[in-house]
Amino acid sequence: MVTAGPLLVANSPGNKTPGVQFLVQISLGDSTTPAANLFGVSFELNFTNTAFVDVVAGSVIPGPFMGNDLLFFPYIDETAGKVNAGISRKFGQGGVSGHGVVMEARFTSLPSIPNGTRVDFFITNIVANDADGNALSLNPGAITVTIGACPSVSSINPAAGEVGSTVTINGANFGGISAVKFANNIAADFTLASATQIVATVPNGAVTGPITLSKTGCPDVQTSTFTVRACPSVSSISPVSAGVGEKITINGNNFSGVTAVLFTNNVPATITNVTATQIRVTVPSGAVSGPLTIRKPSCDDVQTPGFTLLCPAVTAISPTSGISGTNVIISGSNLSGVTSVVFSENVAAAFTIDNANQITATVPAAAVTGPITLGQAGCAEILTPEFTLLSAREARLVSRSVSGGAVKLAVELSSQGNENALSFSLSFDP
């Protein structure tokens, strides 16, 4: 007697679900114990819990191992839980050797089946022969199929979000979920947190609509509507450097509804224009270098690439000397954001910003000779060329006399902050 390998039952795949079909395959042999010169085989496929499973009509067919042109005789007794099958190659074809599927059948697990019900499959009454009519010995195997439940959804949280955010899907029987897809069939990355919870990431291209969960052997199940918010994204800014008062253009998408643009130190910019793809802002006083933050309700803040604030530069002052109260014009560039003008010895001056290239400062009473310091947030202090403080002189009439028709005046000149005085006389003849 020639001995072939075991006859095995295989299913695809493990856990099965109420109300759907599943496949059972009968395989002969394996790579270590192949069949040798197999010509014909008959066997009985048995299954338990017959009240909860049915054989799908027309699904019992021979497998590919023994060839295409075969004699096949199936007989199904669902009440007894049996599928009898006889498979034979035709006269003159000879036998086959190796291993593979000799028969397959589809079963339906009925909707009424209790969750966790076991259906066992096993092989009995195996008879096999080779091409010469010699009997072959085939050893049966068995497999267990466990009936499981399909997923159901109870809620999602949150019900809205932007691309890249996460949504938690709550429900039951999530084990075995193979795909999570958003409304336009865009697959999402997801994590199976537990049998009752899935955490999915909103993918690029997602649109508003229900989220679909897929599980092998189950109909797809959908969540309630998830709203994909069109949140801003930034592609570029232009220019990448500017001074206070200058315009910056931010390019990107989904800018409609933006309510604020903030500089790195949280100083709000003045928004001059917004379209779906572009925002125009003015660099505010107090801004510093760094990325800008774009804010839109119900969306996470999004940042631009880095921005560089252009700091003040001084080219000249005019005049270069004067007394207190003199107006000094400071010329340069990027002067619009200057917040302080200080003379030597830390004496603050009143000033006006005429334009980005000019400041007019008034020499304060306590000023002394030295450079003038300009201050601006986010910038190093900058010094002007030296300003020379001149002494202011005051004339005082000391005496007046008239003699022989001539008028004589005595005048004293003194300097601010100087006790030394210069006295002289003036005479006027009639």
Spell out the residues 6+ positions from residue 294 whose beta carbon is closer than 8 angstroms to its own: 232, 234, 250, 255, 258, 260, 261, 279, 301, 302, 303, 304
Domain 233-309 classification at class level: mainly beta
The mean pLDDT value for 347-375 works out to 95
Per-residue confidence (pLDDT) for residue 397, from 0 to 100: 59
Beta strand 135-137 pairing with 2-3: parallel
Give 169's pLDDT tier (boundaries 50, 70, 90): very high
For the beta carbon of residue 333, count every other beta carbon within 10 angstroms.
15
Spell out the residues 6+ positions from residue 241 whose beta carbon is closer than 8 angstroms to its own: 307, 308, 309, 310
The mean pLDDT value for 228-252 works out to 92
What's the topology of domain 2-146?
Answer: Immunoglobulin-like (2.60.40)
Closest CA to 279 of 300, 265, 259, 299: 259
Asked whether the beta carbons of 259 and 297 are under 8 A apart, the reply is yes
Could you give the CA distance from residue 122 to residue 60 in angstroms, rounded to a whole number?
Answer: 16
Spell out the residues 6+ positions from residue 383 whose beta carbon is closer than 8 angstroms to its own: 314, 371, 372, 373, 374
**Cα radius of gyration (the chain):** 47
* Domain ranges, ordered by start, for the chain: 2-146, 152-229, 233-309, 313-389, 393-428
DSSP code at position 158: S
pLDDT in tens, 303-353: 999 999 999 999 999 999 999 999 999 999 999 989 999 999 999 999 999
Q: Of 202-206, 301-305, 345-349, 420-424, which gets the smallest average pLDDT?
A: 420-424
Higher-confidence position of 174 and 402: 174
Asked whether the beta carbons of 330 and 374 are under 8 A apart, the reply is yes
Amino acid at 425: S
Prior bond to 319 cis, omega within 30?
yes
Give 14's pLDDT tier (boundaries 50, 70, 90): very low
Per-residue confidence (pLDDT) for residue 3, from 0 to 100: 31
| Residue 394: pLDDT over 60 | no
Share of the chain above pLDDT 70, in %: 83
Asked whether the beta carbons of 226 and 180 are under 8 A apart, the reply is no
The CATH number corresponding to 152-229 among 3.30.499.10, 2.60.40.10, 3.30.450.20, 1.10.1740.10 equals: 2.60.40.10
Cβ-count burial of 147 within 10 angstroms (0-12 exposed, 13-18 middle, 19+ buried)?
buried
Could you give the CA distance from residue 147 to residue 119 in angstroms, rounded to a whole number?
Answer: 7
Asked whether the beta carbons of 107 and 56 are under 8 A apart, the reply is yes
Residues belonging to the chain: 430
Per-residue confidence (pLDDT) for residue 326, from 0 to 100: 94
Sheet holding 313-318, edge to edge: 313-318, 327-333, 358-362, 351-355
46 backbone φψ class: left, alpha, beta (φ>0; ψ -120 to 50): beta
| Residue 29: pLDDT over 90 | no
pLDDT in tens, 35-86: 889 999 999 999 988 888 899 899 899 989 999 889 999 999 999 999 999 9
The CATH number corresponding to 313-389 among 1.10.357.10, 3.40.190.80, 2.60.40.10, 3.40.50.1860 equals: 2.60.40.10
| Residue 113: pLDDT over 80 | no
Higher-confidence position of 194 and 405: 194
Closest CA to 271 of 262, 284, 280, 283: 280
Beta-bridged to residue 201, according to DSSP, are: 166
Cα 42 to chain centroid, rounded: 60
Give 412's pLDDT tier (boundaries 50, 70, 90): low
| Residue 417: pLDDT over 50 | no
Read off φ and ψ for residue 207, nearest 5 degrees: -130, 170
Could you give the CA distance from residue 310 to residue 57 in angstroms, rounded to a whole number?
Answer: 81
Give 22's pLDDT tier (boundaries 50, 70, 90): confident
DSSP code at position 140: B
Q: Of 165-169, 397-401, 413-417, which gets the smallest average pLDDT?
A: 413-417
Same fold: 152-229 with 313-389: yes
Could you give the CA distance from residue 415 to residue 110 in angstroms, rounded to a whole number?
Answer: 113
Per-residue confidence (pLDDT) for residue 148, from 0 to 100: 56
Give 300's pLDDT tier (boundaries 50, 70, 90): confident
Give 144's pLDDT tier (boundaries 50, 70, 90): very low
DSSP code at position 334: S
Give 32's pLDDT tier (boundaries 50, 70, 90): confident
**Token pair belonging to 330:** 């400071």
Cβ-count burial of 27 within 10 angstroms (0-12 exposed, 13-18 middle, 19+ buried)?
buried
| Residue 6: pLDDT over 50 | no
Closest CA to 7 of 197, 140, 181: 140
